[in-house]
Amino acid sequence: MKAVVFHGIGDIRLDNVPEPKIQQPMDAIVRLTSSAICGTDLHMIRGTFTGMKPGTILGHEGIGIVEEIGSNVRNLKVGDRVVIPSTIACGSCSYCRSGYHAQCDNANPNGSSAGTAFFGGPEASGSFNGLQAEYARIPYANVGLVKLPNEVTDDQAILLSDIFPTGYFGADIAEVEPGDTVAVFGCGPVGLFAIASAQLFGAGRVIAVDTIGSRLEMARAIGAEVIDFNAEDPVEIIQQLTGGIGVDRAIDAVGVDANAPDRGPAAEKAKQEAQQFQQQLQQIAPQTNPQNGNWHPGNAPSQALEWGVQALAKAGTLSIIGVYPPTHKFFPIGMAMNKNLTINMGNCNHRKYIPTLVDLVRNGSVEPTEILTQVEPLMSVIDAYKAFDRRQPGWVKVELVPQVAV
């Protein structure tokens, strides 16, 4: 079968690989009808999330048709149409039963203390082959697959595998309450869903910070007040917009590959921190492999964290859902402590949220495809990756469609 394979930092290829097989009684084999490219995939390719095993199939978003089930999968049948939660969970341990599926005791083969297991990730997360392929093996399929109703289209469903749940998780752990003013840093796919989710939780105002025009326009279209950090100082403008108080909740949807302003009022401050940011990057990503405009790590690994803390009102809440690797050890803890901030963070517990979001899409409360901008054949995946990595105008969320003979 065809699959997107990680060969090294800056080196991904569309390869022919063996089709997966049932390995455990709780496994299922799914024929993918859609997968997607995510910013998390780019962290691995850029080298800002280390520990990838060469030969691993990339991708952690997918929907498809159940082709085969293990002997102990009792709630699914061949032919079921399903969405695949990005994080892998057993459903039986105390963490899963409490809704912390991303901290499952059993899914990660590195042990119960190893943390999140997810598809297409590094060795620390289990080196599970991912979903940018024609077929995939799904462990713990009784929990790791969610049936889709006919009313939910493939284009809608692929956004329920990771980015909508992650944005919703971000608003949830931000503790957004009716009337709150919320700042969302980053208007990529997860940030846009964080904006929409904050509104679902009742936010009175949402302020969105980015610098890519097409993404800011999408944020504006769904009701956010927008700030271009290369045209204005985002912290100063947030203070102005909130009467000098700051926001009640801030959501970091950027993560480790943040970029500092290179022009405008905020650029001078960024220049003063440039050496510090460069030292951070060298520690986080000792090996990189940029090529012809692609696979360049962000130049300011802690920029979004700093802005989030600075923009918050006293006693506010910071939600961190942008990806930070274990090698990232830089956080403005003193400033946060002095403001009595609450900080909530982590990997999304996808399985907890997906059934609720499926219902919201089915009943028409949310139309997630407003954020889907490209649908590309899997055969064109490398070009699609490069366009998405360069943040070309209009490239916000990319769905991949395998060409599988049925």
What pLDDT does 403 receive? 73
Q: Are residues 111 and 248 in the same domain?
A: no
Q: Are residues 150 and 29 in the same domain?
A: yes
Q: Are residues 93 and 75 in the same domain?
A: yes
Q: Give the pair of three-digit tokens for residue 127.
A: 């080196």
Residue 271 in domain: yes
What pLDDT does 300 receive? 97
pLDDT per position as a tens digit, 150-183: 999 999 999 999 999 999 999 999 999 999 999 9
Q: Residues of 138-151 as b/e, b for ≥16 C-beta within 10 angstroms?
A: bbbbbbbbbebeee
What pLDDT does 96 receive? 98
Q: Are residues 211 and 299 in the same domain?
A: yes
Using alpha carbons, list the distances in angstroms from residue 366 to 24, 144, 152, 308, 363.
37, 23, 11, 27, 8
What pLDDT does 401 receive? 97
With 0-12 / 13-18 / 19 or more C-beta atoms within 10 angstroms meaning exposed / middle / buried, residue 332 is: middle
Boundary of a domain, candidates 297, 321, 345: 345
Q: Are residues 325 and 393 in the same domain?
A: no
Mean model confidence pLDDT for the chain? 97
Cβ atoms of 137 and 6 within 8 Å: the answer is no
Question: How many angstroms separate the CA atoms of 398 and 22, rounded?
Answer: 29
What pLDDT does 257 receive? 97
Q: Are residues 191 and 111 in the same domain?
A: no
Cβ atoms of 130 and 137 within 8 Å: the answer is no
Q: What angle do CA 200, 202, 208 make, to 5 degrees?
A: 75
CATH number at residue 144: 3.90.180.10
What pLDDT does 25 receive? 98
Residue 81 CB: number of other CB atoms within 10 A? 18
Segment 34-43 shows an average pLDDT of 97
pLDDT per position as a tens digit, 120-149: 999 999 999 999 999 999 999 999 999 999
Would you place residue 405 in the very low, low, confident or very high pLDDT band (cuts 50, 70, 90)?
Answer: very low
Q: Are residues 292 and 193 in the same domain?
A: yes
For residue 53, pLDDT over 60 is answered with yes
What pLDDT does 332 receive? 96
Q: Are residues 208 and 337 in the same domain?
A: yes
3-class DSSP string for the chain: CEEEEEEECCEEEEEECCCCCCCCCCCEEEEEEEEEECHHHHHHHHCCCCCCCCCCECCCCEEEEEEEECCCCCCCCCCCEEEECCECCCCCCHHHHCCCHHHCCCCCCCCCCCCCCEECCCHHHCCECCCCECEEEECCHHHHCEECCCCCCHHHHHHHCCHHHHHHHHHHHCCCCCCCEEEEECCCHHHHHHHHHHHHCCCCEEEEEECCHHHHHHHHHCCCEEEECCCCCHHHHHHHHCCCCCEEEEEECCCCCCCCCCCCCCHHHHHHCHHHHHHHHHHHCCCCCCECCECCCCCCCCHHHHHHHHHEEEEEEEEECCCCCCCCCCCCHHHHHHCCCEEEECCCCHHHHHHHHHHHHHCCCCCHHHHCCEEEEHHHHHHHHHHHHCCCCCCCCEEEECCCCC
Residue 330 in domain: yes
Q: Are residues 18 and 106 in the same domain?
A: yes
For residue 98, pLDDT over 60 is answered with yes
Residues in the chain: 406
Segment 213-229 shows an average pLDDT of 97
Residue 406 in domain: no
pLDDT per position as a tens digit, 328-364: 999 999 999 999 999 999 999 999 999 999 999 999 9
Q: Are residues 126 and 240 in the same domain?
A: no
CATH number at residue 320: 3.40.50.720
With 0-12 / 13-18 / 19 or more C-beta atoms within 10 angstroms meaning exposed / middle / buried, residue 222 is: middle
Instruction: Residue 229: name the closest of 172, 141, 282, 308 by CA.
Output: 308
Which has the higher per-residue pLDDT, 45 or 292? 45
Q: Give the pair of three-digit tokens for residue 57.
A: 């199939």
Segment 74-87 shows an average pLDDT of 98
pLDDT per position as a tens digit, 270-325: 999 999 999 999 999 999 999 999 999 999 999 999 999 999 999 999 999 999 99
> Does the pTM of the predicted model rise above 0.95?
yes
> Side-chain half-sphere of 279: how many Cα atoms within 13 Å?
6
Beta bridge partners of 312: 247
Would you place residue 406 in the very low, low, confident or very high pLDDT band (cuts 50, 70, 90)?
Answer: very low
Instruction: Residue 93: name the closest of 111, 119, 77, 75 by CA.
Output: 111
Q: Range of 172's domain? A: 167-345
Cβ atoms of 304 and 186 within 8 Å: the answer is yes
Boundary of a domain, candidates 318, 345, 372: 345
What pLDDT does 233 receive? 98
For the chain, what is the domain count? 2
Boundary of a domain, candidates 324, 345, 366: 345
Q: Are residues 68 and 101 in the same domain?
A: yes
Q: Are residues 390 and 310 in the same domain?
A: no
Q: How far apart are the first and last CA of the chain?
A: 13
